[in-house]
Structure 1
Amino acid sequence: MPEREKPQRNVKAVRGADGLLRCPWPGAEPLYVAYHDEEWGAPEYDDRALFEKLVLDGFQAGLSWITILRKRPAFRTAFDGFKPEKIVRWNAAKKEALMLDAGIVRNRAKIEATVALARIYLDLAEKEGFARHLWSFVDGRPIQNARRSLADMPAETEVSRAIAKDLRARGGNFVGPTIIYAFMQATGMVNDHLVDCCRHDACRALARDFGP
């Protein structure tokens, strides 16, 4: 789930004002609820969308996801639409401009990590493809979990450790196993909606075979 702190881990699905049961972490924040209902846990197979999410998960390190979510439009503008072919050409002037942009999270190490990840993306694009490479760690199909409360939610798994190791070996940074597991949850590589949540079965139905 998005929040690193994971408060009240025994909390189960909660009923919203609209009568629907949801995972408890979005609370009543409209932006967060929309993200939970429309994006989180839905299998994402698009290369660029996965790249954006992985970059933003790296920027979340030490922060809450709602902070990043609120800044996402500004990130998309500042980061050239998350186009890796543009990001790899960022020069010193561009990086300094980003450090002055109050609309994003200003962190030099994370900006450099974005450039490194763009290089990884382009390298994989010449081979099997960014999305296909990442999805290969789960054999091309979402892992369907049946978690009943936040207490059942791990911070990392064997698969997230394997992906983290792979990306680090390719020169990645801010791609540790905890960040990678949050990325896997968000992009539907694992279905971690609680079983009572209205989105659990919906995300299960969206799963398809990505292919080896």
Structure 2
Amino acid sequence: MLFELLSLEIMQAGLSWQTVLNKRQALKAAFENFDYRTVQMLDSQLPQLLTNDKIIRNRRKILAIISNARIIDSLETQNKSFNQYLWDFIKWTPIQHHYQSHKDLPRTDQTARQISNQMKSDGFKFTGPVVVYSFMQAAGLVNDHEISCYRYKEITQTHE
């Protein structure tokens, strides 16, 4: 699931979320239900992916997803899951922000820049700080719900 979230964040870069959500099922089909073990071998299907009008056909993004699948698989050969890799950055405790308004939300932060730099160093592609911060939000590593939001209250109570 984390690989799917990362891949969708990569696809969303520069586009609206509505575009990604409208194409999500087709992306899941094209990327083998985001099974990184299978996705890492999709190089030979690149021409078909680039002509599939049901998905986002950005060559760099598609190649990044395939490459990232390989990196995630290589983590497992080192006895480390992608889940462990990510949560180790924040010491297994979600970052709790206390924003009054969505206008206060940053596009990125220092933690996302740190994770982005490490991911790039480890070979991940298309993982700039803005993509990583959005991914952190989607994966639950950071709670950016407004304090008046019911989800903020549920999440903060769960992690206190």
Residue 60 of structure 2 aligns with an amino acid whose one-letter code is: A
Report if the CA contact (8 A) 1:143-1:191 is conserved.
yes
Give the greater-gyration-radius structure (CA).
Answer: 1
Gaps of 5+ in 2: none
How many percent of aligned residue pairs carry the same amino acid? 37
* Corresponding position of 1:149: 101
1:77–1:145: structure 2 CA closer, same or farther, 3 Å change rule? same
SS in 1 for 2:42: coil
Please say if residues 188 and 203 of structure 1, whose CA atoms lie closer than 8 Å, have aligned partners that are also in contact.
no
Work out the CA distance in 2 between the residues paired with 1:185 and 1:206: 16
1:146–1:194 CA contact under 8 A, matched in 2: yes
Counterpart contact for 2:43–2:66, Cα < 8 Å: no
Deviation of 1:97 (Å):
0.7
- Unaligned stretches of 5+ residues in structure 1: 1-48
2:60 corresponds to which residue?
109
User: Is 2:60 aligned against 1:60?
Assistant: no
* Cα offset, 1:175, TM superposition: 0.4
- 1:202 is displaced (CA, Å) by 1.7
Say whether 1:100 aligns with 2:80: no
Structure with more relative contact order (C-alpha pairs < 8 Å, separation 6 or more): 1
Q: CA deviation at 1:129?
A: 1.0
* Greater Cα shift, 197-206 or 184-193: 197-206
In the alignment, the residues of structure 1 paired with residue 72 and residue 155 of structure 2 have an alpha-carbon distance, to the nearest angstrom, of 26
Q: State the Cα distance separating 1:206 from its structure 2 match.
A: 4.3
Supply the RMSD in Å over aligned alpha carbons.
1.4
CA distance in 2, matches of 1:117, 1:68: 19
Q: Secondary structure at the match of 2:150?
A: coil
Matched, 1:81 2:45: no
CA separation in 2, counterparts of 1:123 and 1:154?
Answer: 32
**TM-score, with length taken from structure 2:** 0.94
Once residues 159 and 84 of structure 2 are traced to their aligned partners in structure 1, the CA distance between those partners, rounded to angstroms, is: 15
Measured in 1, the distance between the counterparts of 2:43 and 2:98 equals: 46
Q: 2:86 aligns with which of 127, 131, 134?
A: 134
Greater percentage in helix: 2
TM-score (norm 1): 0.72
Match of 1:118 in 2: 69
Q: Where do 4+ consecutive residues of structure 1 move more than 2 Å?
A: 203-208
Which residue identity does 1:130 align to in structure 2?
A: F
Please name the residue that 1:69 is paired with: 21
- In 1, Cα distance between the equivalents of 2:43 and 2:104? 44
Q: Confirm or deny that 1:160 pairs with 2:118.
A: no
Kept in 2: contact 1:144–1:192 (CA 8 A): yes
Q: Tell me the equivalent position of 2:131.
A: 179
- Displacement of 1:205: 3.9
Per-residue CA deviations over 1:67-97 (Å, capped at 9, x if unaligned) read 11121111111100111111111133x1111
User: Could you tell me which amino acid in structure 2 is paired with residue 97 of structure 1?
Assistant: Q
